[in-house]
Structure 1
Amino acid sequence: MIAAMKKGYPLILWLFFACSCAVSNKYDPAKKYSPGQLKEDYTLFRNILEESHPSLYWYTSKDSIDYYFDQGARQLNDSLPEYKFRNILSYVVAKIRCGHTTVRSSKAASRYSDRSRSFSLPLSVKAWPDTVMVTSNLNRKDSNVTRGVILRSIEGRPIQSIVDTFFNYLSADGYNLTHKYQTISNGGMFRNMYGSIFGLRRKMNVEYIDTTGSIKAAQIDVYNPTLDSPAHRPVVKRPSARQRRKMEFQAQRNMQVDTAKNLAIMEVNGFSKSYRLRTFFRKSFKKLRKEKVQNLVIDLRGNGGGSVVLSNLLTRYIANAPFKIADSIYAVKRKSKYHKYIEDYFQSRLFLLFMAHKREDGNYHFKYYERKYFSPKKKNHFNGDVYVLTGGNTFSAATLFAKTIKPQDNVTIVGEETGGGAYGNTAWLIPDVELPNTKVRFRLPLFRLIIDKNEVKGRGVIPEVEALPTVQAIMRNEDFKMQKVRQLILEKRQDSAVHGLK
């Protein structure tokens, strides 16, 4: 086992050979699929995208997409485990430049991952242009590579080279990089991608800049979960199902009101239909009216999208004029000859049959949303100052909300460029496709949504007031975007006071 580690065998083989704490089940992460099986799955993958993806050549020319498809096919002459096959698919999919088109593990692999703990790179990071900062080290006894150090290289690979390599496997809308930087900063994504792409060794060389500004070198141990598991775990009383549900709701959407500062902070971490957002919005805006709150912060930094109907509802509480969802929204196909591989195909087929209609351009348009203007709410409409916090995780329907209300005089977007495209995206109906041999899945968006044909293509919603990460802010765990909002509110009050005296 140690010899295998020293040779830098990939993470997935470690899972199979070395992880004694993994639960036993039928999934074998070391299982390899024959070139014939891989090629059959890959051909389906390509054919389905070429048949039904409405934006396959939106940002990348057909010649280039064909080149990447062919390049991926040339890598299938040897047997491969699932994760290596997924890497090939992810590399190709990233070239489409569609943030909603992503590759997912098989259901069996996903269950295995949920139930097992594996060896991994121990580091999590916060990344932004020119900086990759360690935010945590799973090896808690390591006193060198700790929170706050800036990575320069791992195993001789410059950190920018590592980031650029990761970006080649990550999907994003258009030319957006904020979403990619945020993705590798989320949870354990950095350490998981490193193991999957580069493999792991028992000890790895790291060069970094410490908190005094000195360049240092050290070796870090691979994270071994068996050594980190206490012999006796403390007994913790598990919350009831009702309590867990309440906690889950609170994490997804909540609002705090500071009457002394005439400020409310509304956090909305998704537009899922599962979290009773209609009731939450109705009660929240009623409370804002009753307490005469004049400053509202809507925090969308963790909002990856969801239901456009619910995003629309929030917009109606803020918008000061009728608004439209999109200039155009259409699919290129009503049905697929590969329907047996597409999950929820029947529901998608019904929607396309009854809601989308063919027009002169040969595409199937969802005319309702192309023509419909939505009116602002009259009851409990918020007319005060609105500050919307955005970042790389602000995506899809959350970007649509930010884009719609941004032009208003009483709205200020604060933070970083949204991860979702301001010009448009490819989404709406997004079934999973499951490939027959490996069972690897990929998401297949069926509609192209052009939000604003006059917007810059390939970028997110750009904030009027930037609030960017710094080493000092991350070290101190400061909410630098919220601090910027409080500063803006204070400056406005001071300006009002000065003008009031004149």
Structure 2
Amino acid sequence: MYFNRTVLVFLLLCGLRCPALTQPLTPQQARTDLTFLKRKLDLLHPGMGYYTPQPQMEQLYDSLYNRLTASMDYLAFFRHLSPLVSALKDGHTNLNHRKNYISRNTRFIPFYIRLVENRYYISHNVSADTSLRRGTELLTINGRTVADLHQHFMNVDHSGSDGDNQTGRRQWSLVQFADYYAAWHGSVDSIAITFRRPGDTTTHAARLRCPTLDGFRTTMYRRYGTERDTRPNLSVRLVDTLTHTAVLRISSFMGPKKTDLFQWSFNRRLRRAFRQLRAENVQNLIVDVQGNGGGAVINSARLLRYWMPERFSIMQHEEMKRAARAELITRWNPLSALNFSLQYKPVGSSGFASRSGRRQYQPRSRTAFQGNLYFLMNGASFSASTSVLAKTLDAGIGTFVGEASGSAFWGDFAGHFKTVTLPNSRIQVRIPLKKLTHAVLAERANGFTVEPDFVVTRTHDDLMTNRDYVLEYALRLIRQGVAVRATTNSQQSAISN
């Protein structure tokens, strides 16, 4: 499963806006775009009616359609479409701006913001006002409370969070707050803020100029360069020699090269990592998938082979609608139709199912990890990351620390994608084509997502020291000998906080 946040990441570094697209949309143009989107969703999306019943989706569509009675500018129409996409409650379905709407000239809010006990603080400041240091409580932006803005972004965008799960939406909309603000409000030259300085109860006000992407990055590197996480994907770090503990950081389930179709590079790095763990006699392995938005299913399986106790499948079913076939067959490739027939089989009149959906994988033998596993996770542990977490939980292995993952325990809608461009506004919507059902038993779930055994939240001290507080908590569990689901022959420790 591949999760690419095309909506709210800094998308394009250059490009000019097309003058024709600056004109307001007529009611007929807006209705045409909405109808086009609804038709594409009905034809292609495998999850229509899954989280939100189909009658409610139809009622929502009718309401949105009937309200298109006057001309509407581009950004207002973008907002108007948002409820239809977010009602799917599918973290892989993304509402994206038209090409080049976000450009090198777009300006962003000059902060990273973090939440501590229902209060919002500046963690990194790239504005010209250097007195707004870490720990400054940010109260309002342009007259609206930060809490209200954050909740609004969670409500209008389901990217990275399936169903009614809150953790993914909360995580992404806060970590990428500046991107969300630009996507919803457009580029802003400056913002008016109110704030409280650390240790001061007085409310202050200021107006700050907003930087472009280049300015944002340059200042971030200059002021906070020593805090950058430079660990490569699949890196191993020995963190405690006394307890023989190491951290395996997995930031993505995609290899570094886009041309590596079979993901051999990822597999090679994975083998090196586990050989290193074996050579260093690691007995407690912390697998860090915080912020890992997913990647290729094959790489999830490759990782699981190092600790699964017996042969396993990742997926129970892989299905798609009948119309999705046309999206996977290209005219310029005469072999694509044959390839499709080899990979998928018809399922009645409803669609197609993967012939290899239940492919089994053999666990590793010589390089298998035999010690205790601890997983660091948060709401941005999405898609393929949740597949690894769900399969591990289903096998009765591991101790989970942090917060609930973004995807559902049962599976998700992903695999292949179609990006449709609306004919008049040129707004883009990415639609997943496959329903992927994990090969897990429902009774082994510990919640809708994979829930942590130990919920860990940021403290004010964590904020001020920029500490990896989830890792610190896991290390404390290891030093206390706490393993909720031990993978060794030693007796399982009692769960305690």
Tell me if TM exceeds 0.5: yes
- 1:398 to partner: Cα distance: 0.8
Alignment partner, residue 10 of structure 1: none
Aligned pairs for 1:23-38 (under 5 A) are 25=16, 27-28=18-19, 31-35=22-26, 36-38=28-30
The C-alpha deviation readout for 1:287-326, integer Å capped at 9, x for no partner, is: 2222221121111112111110011100011212222223
Q: Distance in 1 between matches of 2:350 and 2:369?
A: 42
Q: Contact conserved, 2:190 with 2:210, CA < 8 A, in 1?
A: no
Q: CA deviation at 1:286?
A: 1.5
> Which stretch of structure 1 is more off in the superposition, 87-96 or 97-106?
87-96
- Counterpart residue number, 1:93: 85
Match of 1:420 among 385, 391, 407: 407
Decide which moves more: 78-87 or 275-284: 78-87
Deviation at 1:132, TM superposition (A): 2.7
- How far apart, in 2, do the equivalents of 1:159 and 1:480 lie? 24
Please give the secondary structure, in 2, of the residue aligned with 1:211: coil
1:443 pairs with 2:430: yes
Distance in 1, Cα, partners of 2:98 & 2:357: 34
Unaligned runs of 5+ in 1: 1-21, 237-246
Alpha-carbon distance in structure 2 between the residues aligned to 1:403 and 1:329: 17
CA contact (8 A) 1:173 1:419 kept: yes
State how 1:46-65 maps to structure 2 within 5 Å: 46-65=38-57
Which amino acid is 1:277 matched to? F
In 2 relative to 1, CA 26–210 (structure 1 residues): closer, same or farther, beyond 3 Å?
Answer: closer
| 1:59-78 equivalences in 2 (<5 Å) | 59-74=51-66, 76-78=68-70
Q: Which residue of 2 aligns with 1:278?
A: 267
Q: In structure 1, give the amino acid aligned to 2:465.
A: R
Q: Could you give the per-residue CA deviations for residues 109-168 of structure 1, whole angstroms, max 9, x where no partner exists?
A: 35xx2xx1333333331247733322233323153x542233343344343322222122
Q: Report the counterpart of residue 387 of structure 2 in structure 1.
A: 400
Shift of 1:175: 1.0
**Alignment match, 2:167:** 178
Q: Does 1:266 align with 2:248?
A: yes
Partner of 1:151: 138
User: Which position in structure 2 is the counterpart of 1:139?
Assistant: 127
2:421 to 398, 417, 434: 434
State the SS of the aligned residue for 2:449: coil
Q: Give the conservation status (yes or no) of the 8 Å contact 1:415–1:463.
A: yes
RMSD of the alignment, in Å?
3.8
Residue 272 of structure 2 aligns with an amino acid whose one-letter code is K
Deviates more, 1:450-459 or 1:32-41: 450-459
225, 230, 233: which one aligns with 1:252:
233
1:357 to 345, 356, 370: 345
Match of 1:324 in 2: 313
- Per-residue deviation at 1:102? 0.5
| Contact 1:148–1:211, Cα closer than 8 Å, also in 2 | yes
Distance 1:161 1:68, change over 3 A: farther
Q: Look up the match of 1:242.
A: none
Q: Distance in 2 between matches of 1:212 and 1:348?
A: 64
In 2 relative to 1, CA 335–193 (structure 1 residues): closer, same or farther, beyond 3 Å? closer
1:306-357 residue CA offsets vs partner (Å, 9 max, x unmatched): 11001110001121222222333211225478x5999999998766543232
Say if 1:345 and 1:63 are closer, same or farther in 2 by CA, change over 3 A: farther
Aligned partners of 1:252 and 1:292: how far apart in 2?
21
Amino acid at match of 2:431: L
**Secondary structure in 2 matching 1:66:** helix
Find the residue that maps to 2:173 and give its secondary structure.
Answer: helix
Range moving further from structure 2, 395-404 or 273-282: 273-282
Question: In 2, Cα distance between the equivalents of 1:400 and 1:64?
Answer: 29
Contact 1:128-1:181 at 8 Å conserved across structures: no
Residues 399, 348 of structure 1: alpha-carbon distance in 2 compared, 3 angstrom cutoff:
farther
Mapped partners of 1:341, 1:278: distance in 2 = 28
2-side partners of 1:228 and 1:398: how far apart?
32
What are the ranges of 5 or more consecutive residues in structure 2 without an aligned counterpart? 1-12, 223-227, 258-264, 492-497
**Which residue number in structure 1 is paired with residue 474 of structure 2?**
485
Output the CA distance in 2 between the equivalents of 1:347 and 1:442.
28
Change (3 A) 1:71 1:314: same
Counterpart CA distance in 2 for 1:23 and 1:447 is 33
Q: Distance in 2 between matches of 1:32 and 1:310?
A: 46
Distance 2:436 2:238 in 1: 36
Q: How many residues align?
A: 452
- Corresponding position of 1:311: 300
Identical pairs, percent: 22
SS of residue in 1 equivalent to 2:356: helix
AA of the residue aligned to 2:292? N
Match of 1:466 among 446, 455, 464: 455
> After the TM superposition, which of the residue ranges 286-295 and 254-263 deviates more from structure 2?
254-263
Report how far residue 75 of structure 1 moved.
5.2
Q: SS at the partner of 1:417?
A: coil
Q: Which moved more, 1:340-349 or 1:325-334?
A: 340-349
SS at match of 1:281: helix
SS of the counterpart of 1:377?
coil
User: What are the equivalent positions in structure 2 for 1:216-235 lying under 5 Å apart?
Assistant: 216-223=203-210
Deviation of the 1:364 alpha carbon: 2.4
Give the structure 1 partner of residue 276 of structure 2: 287
Question: Do the aligned partners of 1:121 and 1:200 also contact (CA within 8 Å) in 2?
Answer: no
Q: Distance in 2 between matches of 1:77 and 1:324?
A: 51
The answer for the alignment partner of 1:105 in structure 2 is: 97
TM-score by length of 1: 0.78
Cα deviation, residue 408, structure 1: 5.1
In structure 1, the residue matched to 2:199 is 212
Provide the rounded CA distance (Å) in 1 between the counterparts of 2:446 and 2:334: 33
State which drifts further: 406-415 or 91-100: 406-415
Tell me the distance in 2 between the aligned counterparts of 1:226 and 1:57.
38
Give the Cα–Cα distance (whole angstroms) in 2 for the partners of residues 388 and 416 of structure 1.
Answer: 11
Q: How far did residue 487 of structure 1 move?
A: 0.6
TM superposition shift of 1:184: 1.6
CA shift for structure 1 position 51: 1.3
- In the aligned structure 1, how far is the partner of 2:109 from the partner of 2:168? 22
Which whole-Å CA distance do the structure 2 matches of 1:492 and 1:227 have between them? 47
Q: What is the SS of the residue equivalent to 1:182?
A: helix
**Is the CA contact (8 Å cut-off) linking 1:90 and 1:170 kept in structure 2?**
yes
